[in-house]
Structure 1
């Protein structure tokens, strides 16, 4: 996938394309990491690259459940559980596979809904506006783009702290770009 979002045909396609691009960039932050590096939290943040990718996937799944007004597909284990943990033995490939499954469910769900369909606002949390009763599917997609982009930047900083890899150097390595004056593909420290 190139570094820029593909051309879009309409609003729904645009929202889904920009969300897809944001997901891709977030997943790239874990490219080439060992399981230990995937769990490492070497910066001022307590979060790891793997934890940020996993959390963002669970967050998207939760929003799709809210949008479809169904019980949680992945219930939280504890009230404070935000799914930032990477289990022992869990790999980058495991996390990406899960995120891809969530993305496919988002695509299916959004295909069958009007962007104007109302989505109830959860008033039990203090960060949601109390004066409104509903979001829209459109709002949820914008929010998922915002959420994914926020964690993308966060994961990019953590990744750079782990081994110096950044978005475009990782993209160049993952996609096999030739080295140029603009970008040198990331390589593991052992190479």
Structure 2
């Protein structure tokens, strides 16, 4: 029940704690949204809160496949679709997908004995420099923290543009913080906001 990550004692705990914290902050941007609001691109980009949560889940899934050296699935869909909810997708569905991806990441990392373990770079991916052959599990975790934090910031801006809600009031509402922390967010009365 805090807006900041708790104290940590070692590197692995620090990385996993910060990853969990960034996931939590991304997810709270969806608190109280309607399906239409979760699909709203409220800025100049096409990013939506539902799409950002879906993308974060798929990022974790992809990186864990690399850590485990599993094959990549065939990707035939347009990459930009990953940042929006498809007509058949729901906010609850992508939140569940995100929770499953997080649980898998936690389990995979718990089984890795050395954070320095090599993770091969996939070939032929346009966002990976050709000279990079591998990363470490440590690097992967730092990258996931960065990726989720960046998209959490996008989601914060989108959410504030939708209904004015901001992080601490959303956390207070979602987690039922006791007084006197922050006035919890409440939906606007019908017909307003």
Mapped partners of 1:76, 1:33: distance in 2 = 29
Mapped partners of 1:127, 1:90: distance in 2 = 27
| 1:77 Cα deviation after fit | 3.8
Mapped partners of 1:45, 1:32: distance in 2 = 22
Q: Counterpart of 2:30?
A: 30
Q: Is 2:108 aligned against 1:109?
A: yes
When residues 81 and 42 of structure 1 are mapped into structure 2, their CA distance, relative to the original with a 3 A threshold, is closer
Give 3-state SS (helix, strand or coil) of 1:119's partner: strand
Tell me the C-alpha RMSD between the 2 structures.
2.0
| 1:81 Cα deviation after fit | 5.5
Q: Which digits, 9 at most, give the CA deviation of each residue in 1:31-71, with x for residues without a partner?
A: 10000000111211211111011111111111111111102
Q: Counterpart of 2:167?
A: 167
Q: Counterpart of 1:61?
A: 61
Q: Which digits, 9 at most, give the CA deviation of each residue in 1:133-179, with x for residues without a partner?
A: 11000000000000000000001101111111111111111122356
Mapped partners of 1:100, 1:31: distance in 2 = 15
Written as runs of structure 1 = structure 2, the 5 A alignment for 1:59-98 is 59-72=59-72, 75-78=74-77, 80=79, 83-88=82-87, 90-98=89-97
Q: Counterpart of 2:13?
A: 13
Gaps of 5+ in 1: none
Q: Is 2:22 aligned against 1:4?
A: no
When residues 41 and 81 of structure 1 are mapped into structure 2, their CA distance, relative to the original with a 3 A threshold, is closer
Residues 35 and 89 in structure 1, CA contact (< 8 A), matched pair in contact too: no
When residues 40 and 94 of structure 1 are mapped into structure 2, their CA distance, relative to the original with a 3 A threshold, is same
Gaps of 5+ in 2: none
Give 3-state SS (helix, strand or coil) of 1:31's partner: coil
Q: Counterpart of 1:184?
A: 183
| 1:127 Cα deviation after fit | 3.4
